[in-house]
Each structure stands twice: as structure tokens, then as C-alpha cells.
Structure 1
Amino acid sequence: MFKKLLPLFCFFLLNTTLYAQYIPISEDSEISILTVGPGEALYDKFGHSAFRVKDNTLGYDIVYNYGTYDFETPNFYTKFAQGKLLYELSFYNYEQFLASYKRQNRWIKEQVLELSLSDKEAVFNFLQNNAKDENKAYKYDFFFDNCATRMRDVLKEVLGDRLQYNDSFVEEQYTFRELIQKNVHCNSWGSLGMDVATGAVTDRDATAWQYQFLPNYVYQAATTATLDANGKTQPLVKETNFLFKNNPVTHRSNYLLSPLFIFSVISIWVLWITFRDLKRETRSRFLDAGLLFITGVVGIILALLWFATDHSATANNYNLLWAFPFSILVTAAIAKRNPKAWVSRYIIFLLLLFLLLTIHWITGVQEFAIGLLPLFMALAIRYIYVVYYLKRKTSLVVSRK
């Protein structure tokens, strides 16, 4: 009777006392790293990682998940935008975890770790303590502190120098931007959004240790990691299991809805108006005002992401070279039929910024969204025409005097 009640008792303690009491773990227990494949939504494209603690003797099977947050958090969306939203370590029954990702048709791999009983106790105790109300929250960072990096960090914290990661799983050198772009199509709106929002900090080469911000590389790093056990070096991973094999779905992207096509159409429209203006010896003032207004608004958003948030990935963003925030202040001036001379000088300044953008792109300081290339060309040509038109008009006025 006692053996039948013990699993219920342990799980009751796990869910009601928040680890105020010691929860035992037996010799037959297993601690695993779970790796989940990519999902449909953009935030699921990179996969997921979690710990699993399974004890058949004591009858519990728990998943510890560092990738959760509380939707009831006051000012949730503001904190999310500012990079101040706290993520949490949550725990629940493995069957819930499995069922959830089965519904999403996402594969799940398990790496059972080769740990002694004392090591399993140490890892389990760390997770129990970390799941307490006062410890469960942490400040999420996409590159440096997320659900994937926590797998690596927890094991390193508990096992210390006995656990050794090596670089052998890294076959090619990639930047942070290249690593995240491997998970999304380059000509997609998600890819474009990330390229515009993230700065030059993401164009640094990532080390093998830093690769583990992505779950797939946590999986690969664990495969090659070693653990010192009483002076004997052994693989960290004892066995690997495929817990759920998904049914691959082929997604066909619609090029007519892609950023490259949409911005190509917009760019052709801008160039057509510019050509028409050239033929008529006129200037479409409201087009120029609209371009400066839109690029100015984008620039303000990017500047706020850089200077007014805690997002590490949005710093040093040279997309500000084409989306310059102060352009919004020039909107009214350029919409006038006869703008003042300084407006022409400001447009020349914008062309110089485009030159800097080109240099940054060629030298690898920062990569820019390929979908924006037609827009860059159209803006540069339009700015050149505006400078030409305004200077020509000024010359005509002077000659008449």
C-alpha cells in the first residue's frame, strides 16, 4: 500500500510545497535533456530545450522548463518590448509536455545523461531550489540567457570543471545573425523583421559555447561533452532516444507575398514617379514627404530599441543609416513647393549615410535584409533626383535675378 501511495505523495509535495521539503531520487532515476524541433510560429522556429527528471521507482516524471512567462504580469507587452520581461522556470508532468508538442507536430529527442546518484541528486536539488517562487524568475536574453543556454549553465553550475564542453561539434564558423537565419527563410517577413531590428552585435562570430543559445546546438554540444567520474573521463550522454517523430510538412512560400517582391513593386513605383518627374521637370513633393516620414518613424523605433530597451541584440543597429530618425522632422519642410536650401543639404547627408551603409555591408560590419535591397536602390536614386531638382531650381531662380 505504501509503495502505491509514495508516487502520489512525492508528486503532491512537488506541486504544493514548492520544494520546502526534500524530494528523494532513487538509483534508477534518469535526468535528461529534451530537445524539441521547430514549430510554425516565428518564436517556435528555433526549437526548445528542457530538463526531464524521471524516477520509475518513486513514480514521478517531471519536466523543468525555463521557457515560460506569466501573461498576468503587469504591463506585460511594455516589459516585453523593453526587454524587461522576466521568464520563469516551471515544472509539470512529462505527459503534458509530450502531448503539447505532439499536437504541434514537433519532434522530441531525449539525451539521457550519464550521472552518478550523487550527481543526479545535485542536479535535481538545484532544479527544485531554482523552481521556488523566489528563484524561478530570470531576465531573458535571446542570445545569452534563454531556455537553451540554461541547460548548459545548470549542468556547468552543478558539475563544475568535471564537465567539459569542446568545440568539435562546430564544423563551420557562423555569426549570431547567420545562426538565427539558418532557422528562417531569408526572403520571409520574419527574417526581414529580425534583420531590421537587430544590430551589428549579431554580426560577431559566435564561439562554440555561444552557439548553445539554440536548442539544436545544445543537443550537439551535449553529444560531444565529457564528464570526469572518479578520475575517469566518460561521455556526458549515456543514450539518445527519439521520443516523438513528427510528420514533416512541406511549406510552399508565396513569392508574390514575400518582402523581396513587395519592396520591388514599391521600388518600381518610386522609380517610375521619379522618371515621370524628370520628364515633366517637376517633383512629387508628397512622395518625398512620405518617404522621409516612414523612414523617420522606422528610425525612431530602431533608436528606441537600441537606447531605451535592455535587448542586447538591438544595439549598434546601422539600419539607422537608411531609417534616420530625424527625417521625420524634415517631412513638412520637404513637402513645400520651394523648400529652403538646407533641405537639399539634408538629402545629401542622407546619401552619405547610404554610402556608409554600403561600406558597412561590404566590410561585414553589419548584414542588412536582402528584401530591402530594391528599396535601398530606389531611395538612393530618389534622393539623387531630389538634390538634382532642388539645385537646378535654385540655379534657375538665381539666373533670373
Structure 2
Amino acid sequence: MLLLIVLAIVSSFNIYALPRVSLIVASPIPEEPYTLYGHAGLRILDAQSGRDEVYNWGVFDFDKPGFAWNFMMGYTDYQIGKLPSDFYITDYLKRGSNLDEIVLNLNADEVSRLDSLLSINMLPQNRVYRYNFFYNNCATKPLEILQKAMKAKLVFPRIKRITYRDLINEAEYSMPWLIFGTDLAVGSPADRPISAEQAMFFPKMLSTYLPKSKIVYDNGYAKPFVLSRQTLYSPIGEEAQEQLHANRMNTPVVLLFAVALLGMLIVWNVRSVGEQSFWHKFARLYSIVVMVVAGLTGCVLFFLAFMSEHPCMWPNANLLIYHPFYLLIALPLLLWKKRGSLIDRCFHFIIFVALIAYFAVSIVLLQHISIANFGSVFAIASVALYRIRISKYKDDKTGEKTF
């Protein structure tokens, strides 16, 4: 009996002496676009030595030469940093983030291995890593190093159907233009169902799924991955959350549908060559603007899909709506005074077919169709119908250029 009491006392002392390992998850804040996704850091608290540090894999330098270009190409390099927990926590609370601290259920060997792995990661030659929004970021890196330290299987819960796009759109709710932009750029792979482990690229999901996860050892023994969870509330956190969830007007949808209605109005009013010259001039200007905007957007999508290293950019059905051929072919046809009407008609007929094909391809690829894209489709289709109609009229009547 006495021996059992002694063992219990020794065991409780070891638990107390063991450094506490936790993940600190910062909630999203409406400060900058990149802060909409939240953040995660790994905290080591050793009461005996007084050590209390947060390891942060989200360190980058905006002012580094070529940062913008490298970011576009997907060559963004982040690095691990380390700072006192008080500073880390205070900084995020002041900015408006609430902090979830998820205390992990690690034994002495696992904590020791984790500490060694962190020391190796902090070496100058190992600090920098190639950032990837979905697969290699501030939330996936600590989870990766924890799994290496455990030498056991981390079993995550089964979850309802969710996709990368669902989580991105949730994070970007307060910025409709950002949602529209990412919906254009991100292709069909972002609409495939993902697992709980994959979903934890989004820091918020660490707080959701880790408490439901287990560590399973080779001998079959299993234990909860999380010991406890507590939340530190920011004094301005409620205000920040209200801004994140504000019901803002979906300006991309409103604007693009207004442009589409204008295009349909033009097609309706331009009925014959030589009549209503105002509508002909306005139609030409409208066509040029639409082709330039759609063409430039297409250049960006083409670049992201075929030249950058960003994930989930291809295949992308949106390239049937927006592509560089508007600048390479449509714009010269609009500006070239001695253009051939047959070429004009054929090209715009192909555009019209591609717009129809967009919906079929999106369904086949299971790609999300943005409501705003309907406005773009109608606007571009209006230009195509106008050009087909005007070039056909010239062929049938005089064959002469009207404006």
C-alpha cells in the first residue's frame, strides 16, 4: 500500500514537472486579407526552468526584394520564429484576435523528441520553408512536427462533407471582392471533399477537430490528443467578429449584373447598320471595355493555372469565360479598321459556344459556379451576339465598315 502511494506521488510530480505543450490558435481579424484566415503557434511552457515560448511558422518579410512576384509565382518562403509567449499572446489580443489554447496530451518521451525537433528546425539552414496555402502553412507545420515527435498514429474524426473552397469562402465572408477573386482563381480541385486533417490548413479547424482526435500507439493503446482547451478573449474581439460577419452588399454580383443588363440593352437597341448611331458607338466602346477586362482577367488566370506553383489552380472552368484570346484576337478585330467580318463572326461564335460550355464543364468537374460569373457570361455573350449580328449584316448588305 505504501509503495502505491509513493508511486502515485512520484507520478504526479513527473506530470507537474513535464513541460506543457499547447497550440495557440488566433481567431481571424479584419486587419489585412491574410489575417482573415487566423493563425496558429506552438507553445512550450516549462514551469521548472521558466521557459515559456511560442514557435511561429508564419514569419515573412513584405519588404524583401521580389516578394510580390514570388508570391504570384507561388515561390513564397516563410520561416519559423520564436518569441516569448507573453509578447505573442498580448500582440494578438491587442489586434482583436481571441486565442484558443489547446493543451496537448504528450508524455515525457514525446515532449523530449518534440524539443529536439524544434531545435533542429530553428537552425539557420532549416528555418526557411516553401509556403503553400493549403498544404504547408502556419497551421500544418506544427501539426506535422507533433506527429513526428509522437511516433504514433494520430487519428482524426470523420467529418461532414467540406471543401477547401467552403473554408476559404467562410474566412473571406467580409470581403465579397476577395471571395470573387479566389473563386475565379481556384479551380475544381478546391471543390473536392477533404478530410479533417486536410481541413486543418485553416487554423480555426485545429480548435474544432483536435479535441476530437486520438493518439493510437502500436500496442493498441489510445488516448485523447487534447488534455484541455481554454479561450483568452480579446478586449476588442467582439468588435472584430462583428466586422468579419457583417452583412455587406455583394458588390461583384451587383456590378456584373448591371454590366450584363447594359449589354443586353445594347444588343436590343442596335438593330440595323446606320440607324441609332449613338448605340453603335456606345456598343463599340462597351465591347472594348468588356474584352479588355475579361482578357486581363484571363491572363491572370492563365498565369496562375499554367505558370505558378499555387495548388488547386488547374483544371479551372473559369478559363472558358476569361482568357487571353480576348486581347489577342477580339480586341484587334474591334480596333482594326479593315477587319474581315467572317473572321469576326466565327471568333465571336466560338466565344458564345465556350460560354455555354462553361456550365457543362463546371458540372463535369464539379466546380463551384460563382453567381457573379452569370453576370460576366451575359456581358460577354452580349458582345459576342452584337459582333455576330453586325458582321452578318455587313456581309448580307454592303460589306462596308460602319464605324
- For 2:7, the equivalent position in structure 1 comes to none
Query: CA–CA distance in 2 between the matches of 1:93 and 1:186?
Result: 32
State the 1:354 CA deviation. 0.5
1:35/1:48 contact within 8 Å kept: yes
SS at match of 1:167: coil
Query: CA–CA distance in 1 between the matches of 2:339 and 2:366?
Result: 36
Please say if 1:272 is aligned against 2:265: yes
Amino acid of the structure 1 residue aligned with 2:190: T
Residues 2-401 of structure 1 correspond to what in structure 2 (within 5 A)? 27-40=17-30, 41-160=32-151, 162-168=152-158, 170=159, 172-185=160-173, 188-228=176-216, 232-245=221-234, 247-249=237-239, 250-251=242-243, 252-255=246-249, 258-278=251-271, 280=275, 283=280, 284-330=283-329, 331-336=331-336, 339-340=339-340, 341-363=342-364, 365-397=366-398
How many correspondences in the alignment? 371
SS at match of 1:154: helix
Of stretches 78-87 and 353-362 in structure 1, the one that deviates more from structure 2 is 353-362
Amino acid of the structure 1 residue aligned with 2:287: D
Q: Deviations over 1:11-41 (max 9, x none)?
A: xxxxxxxxxxxxxx99341000111111103
Q: 1:151–1:135: structure 2 CA closer, same or farther, 3 Å change rule?
A: same
Amino acid of the structure 2 residue aligned with 1:183: A
- For 1:20, the equivalent position in structure 2 comes to none
Amino acid of the structure 2 residue aligned with 1:129: I
Query: CA–CA distance in 1 between the matches of 2:287 and 2:382?
Result: 12
Query: CA–CA distance in 1 between the matches of 2:121 and 2:134?
Result: 21
Of stretches 37-46 and 245-254 in structure 1, the one that deviates more from structure 2 is 245-254
Q: Deviations over 1:267-315 (max 9, x none)?
A: 2333333333237476432322332222112111111112221111323
Query: CA–CA distance in 2 between the matches of 1:132 and 1:370?
Result: 48
State the 1:180 CA deviation. 1.4
SS at match of 1:242: strand
Of stretches 173-182 and 94-103 in structure 1, the one that deviates more from structure 2 is 173-182
- TM-score, length basis structure 2: 0.85
State the 1:228 CA deviation. 4.3
- TM-score, length basis structure 1: 0.86
1:187/1:370 contact within 8 Å kept: no
State the 1:366 CA deviation. 1.8
Q: 1:324–1:231: structure 2 CA closer, same or farther, 3 Å change rule?
A: closer
- For 2:6, the equivalent position in structure 1 comes to none
Query: CA–CA distance in 1 between the matches of 2:124 and 2:61?
Result: 13
Query: CA–CA distance in 2 between the matches of 1:152 and 1:367?
Result: 29
State the 1:364 CA deviation. 5.0
Query: CA–CA distance in 1 between the matches of 2:309 and 2:266?
Result: 41
1:174/1:205 contact within 8 Å kept: yes
State the 1:155 CA deviation. 1.3
The percentage of counterpart residues that share the same residue type is 22
State the 1:97 CA deviation. 0.8
Q: Deviations over 1:136-170 (max 9, x none)?
A: 1111111111111112211112212x2322233x1
Q: Deviations over 1:229-260 (max 9, x none)?
A: 786321111111113355322234442x7211
Query: CA–CA distance in 2 between the matches of 1:394 and 1:86?
Result: 57
Amino acid of the structure 2 residue aligned with 1:112: V
Query: CA–CA distance in 1 between the matches of 2:60 and 2:16?
Result: 31
Query: CA–CA distance in 1 between the matches of 2:286 and 2:338?
Result: 15
2:102/2:226 contact within 8 Å kept: yes
SS at match of 1:375: helix
2:186/2:314 contact within 8 Å kept: yes
Query: CA–CA distance in 2 between the matches of 1:37 and 1:138?
Result: 24
Q: 1:273–1:209: structure 2 CA closer, same or farther, 3 Å change rule?
A: same
1:32/1:51 contact within 8 Å kept: yes
Query: CA–CA distance in 2 between the matches of 1:281 and 1:180?
Result: 47
SS at match of 1:53: strand
Query: CA–CA distance in 2 between the matches of 1:292 and 1:71?
Result: 33
Structure 2 gaps of 5+ residues are 1-14
- For 1:15, the equivalent position in structure 2 comes to none
Q: Deviations over 1:182-214 (max 9, x none)?
A: 222287011011111212221222123211111
Query: CA–CA distance in 1 between the matches of 2:142 and 2:212?
Result: 15
RMSD value, Cα: 2.4
1:176/1:203 contact within 8 Å kept: yes
Amino acid of the structure 2 residue aligned with 1:365: L
Structure 1 gaps of 5+ residues are 1-24
